[in-house]
Chain A
Amino acid sequence: RKEVEQDPGPFNVPEGATVAFNCTYSNSASQSFFWYRQDCRKEPKLLMSVYSSGNEDGRFTAQLNRASQYISLLIRDSKLSDSATYLCVVNQYSSASKIIFGSGTRLSIRP
């Protein structure tokens, strides 16, 4: 079983739709969680950190469920510019950070 698993996608949705991504992690000792987005042929960019209480940034909402060991990302009112690959990232911190990336979910927004 992979340490971090994501919906493989691709998701192809119309502009304005709401889309949700899920990500599960296997190590219950994981401490911090992030969503990154990666555009084609570019580096990953931090989208948002994910906190236990959940957090929202504009059209983006991230949630963490420690009991079930999953995190989610919700995008409301999707725009064409949201088309990208979304990476779930988990930091397992013990003596040093061990950062695990999910394989990413590709999202394509159509007009």
Chain B
Amino acid sequence: GAVVSQHPSWVICKSGTSVKIECRSLDFQATTMFWYRQFPKQSLMLMATSNEGSKATYEQGVEKDKFLINHASLTLSTLTVTSAHPEDSSFYICSALSVGLETDTQYFGPGTRLTVL
């Protein structure tokens, strides 16, 4: 299957700092990427849809000024958690949409585990 990478795989930061997470589609171009968050023993929660060359679409309740998304190329989307707080500690997973002739398929990155102290 298609390959999506995420960097970093884990990060520990102090409260109030900003953290940038990169998501790359390695062997296909992705006009659309998605950012999810998952707390322990809970379901994936879609945070936003990242569209190459345009503004991201945020889900209800997700602060766009806190979670900055940039999709500057067809293979890279970044999520910046600004002024991180302990409650932002979570597993952040991106995915990239591979557009096919019959269907679109989503491939996930390995995730980034964020711990805010």
Contact = CB atoms under 8 A, between A and B. Distances in A.
Interface stretch (A41-49, A55-63, A75-83): A41-49
Contact of A99 (B1, B34, B43, B102): B34
User: Is the contact region of chain A dominated by helix, strand, or loop, or is it mixed?
Assistant: strand
B103 A91 contact: yes
Contacts, number: 44
A32 B43 contact: no
Given A41-B91, A42-B111, A99-B34, A104 B106 contact: no
A105 to B, nearest CB: 11
Most chain-A Cβ atoms within 10 A of its Cβ — which of B43, B102, B107, B111? B43
Interface in A2-24: none
Interface of B: 1, 32, 34, 43-44, 46, 91, 93, 97, 102-111, 113
Closest 8 CB pairs of A and B: A32-B103, A43-B108, A103-B43, A97-B104, A43-B111, A44-B108, A43-B93, A43-B110
